[in-house]
Amino acid sequence: MQSRVMVSLEEGKETGVLSRTNRFKVLPLRSPRLLVLFIVLCVVFSVIIVYTVRLFGVDSLVMNARSSGFGSCYEEATSLEDWIRPPSNLMHNMSDKELLWRASFVPRIKKYPFARVPKIAFMFLTKGPLPLAPLWAKFLKGHEGLYSIYIHSLPSYQATFPPSSPFYNRQIPSQVSEWGRMSMCDAERRLLANALLDISNEWFILLSESCIPLYGFSAIYHYIMKSKYSFIGAFDDPGPYGRGRYNENMAPVVNITEWRKGSQWFEINRKLAINIVEDTRFYPKFEQFCRPACYVDEHYFPTMLTIQAGNLLANRSITWVDWSRGGAHPATFGKTDITLDFFKRVREGHKCLYNGRNITVCFLFARKFAPSALEPLLQIEPRVLGF
């Protein structure tokens, strides 16, 4: 066929004119049939499209197009409300690297273009069940919209809270964490990152399954809201359990004069939470050079935040614990310990600084409480805790 066309073209060059009749002669005889088939198919598709639009509307076509491929991987934000609405499902398939990157997003304009109500994110770091959940449910009741719940448990644990519970569907994608190792800090960063995805969360409190609140929700909310500082312990311990755990290989990123120690249980504001999830400078040093008998969960955050924003730290914890019995872990309290005198000892007789002035209300939470303490706690709560 190519030779016939070339001959025809050459003849055209010699005569200067290629007749319309000769051009059609070089085309295959089946071309008109293909053209007719193409026209028929176009007509059929046109009829289908018109019928679909009339029956279902234009939106159905758009949704069908998005149902496959990349369109199904995200929810399109068509309004400000879509952007600020917290995730409807806490379970996602992001890796830690992707999650921390996403959680580090910060608006450059500080003034919010909507009526933002700041919330407290209660972050529970636990192996499995929350035996004191009924007490927490009473504490939270009536304050919806002022708090969020996040639970990091063993991956194998499946919670069975009823839909009416504030803990219902509040588990986040979790991994195994070991006490004293970097995986524990990874779990805490995971909790912070998931909580940061809700733009309204302003304060972040790390709790365990053995923690209880010592006051009503309103009192705790206003105590935290009015504080100029975040509550995390960060002190310079010159002894073997402080500076004695420092590894010289951490310099110059962390010098021994900057080495700090503090309780694992903290309350921090949104700015410091972002500092923690976005950190790539201090993390490698602590991961490599702070291993048992250096317990990284006692040093990583206190040291890093002291270096980055020491002026924003109250340098104390608001979670009460009893170390008077000695040992590697604080005392655990059960059914027989829950008395009026016990709570008087926990809540009274303390002095601390709050916004630069001396006060006696120093602890808002307490631990550790065994499951057997639940019933007496629920009984004594109206007289002591006042939820």
- pLDDT tens-digit profile of 355-374? 999 999 999 999 999 999 99
Domains located in the chain, CATH noted: 86-105+115-317 (3.90.550), 318-386 (no CATH)
Q: What is the pLDDT of residues 295-304, one digit of tens each?
A: 999 999 999 9
pTM, two decimals, is 0.80
268: helix, strand or coil: strand
Q: Is 294 left (phi over 0), alpha (psi -120 to 50) or beta?
A: beta
Range with the poorest average pLDDT among 29-38, 245-254, 289-298, 307-316? 29-38
Cα-flanking dihedrals φ and ψ of residue 341, to 5°?
-65, -35
| 73 confidence band (pLDDT: 50, 70, 90) | very low
Q: Average pLDDT of 202-215?
A: 98
How far apart are the C-alpha atoms of 291 and 286, rounded to whole Å? 8
Q: Find out whether 304 and 279 touch, Cβ atoms under 8 Å.
A: yes
Six-digit token string for 366? 């307490």
Neighbouring C-alpha atoms within 13 Å toward the C-beta of 172 = 29
Q: What are the beta bridge partners of residue 150?
A: 123
Q: Which of 193, 217, 213 is nearest to 270 (CA)?
A: 193
Contacts of residues 286-289 at CB distance under 8 Å and 24 or more positions apart, as own/partner, are 286/182, 286/185, 286/250, 287/182, 288/249, 289/247, 289/249, 289/250
Residue 352 has pLDDT above 60, yes or no: yes
What's residue 78's pLDDT?
Answer: 80
Radius of gyration of the chain (CA): 32
- Of residues 371 and 30, more confidently modeled: 371
Give residue for tokens 């916004």: 355
Q: Which residues contact 257 (CB under 8 A, 6 or more apart)?
A: 236
Q: How far is CA 70 from CA 73, 82, 87, 102, 369, in A?
A: 5, 19, 19, 18, 48
Residue 262 has pLDDT above 90, yes or no: yes
Q: Find out whether 231 and 266 touch, Cβ atoms under 8 Å.
A: yes
Q: What is the pLDDT of residues 129-150, one digit of tens each?
A: 999 999 999 999 999 999 999 9
Percent of all residues in the chain with a pLDDT value above 70, rounded to a whole number: 81
Residue 67 has pLDDT above 80, yes or no: no
Residue 340 has pLDDT above 90, yes or no: yes
Q: Where do the H-state alpha helices sit in 162-208?
A: 182-196
What's residue 4's pLDDT?
Answer: 41
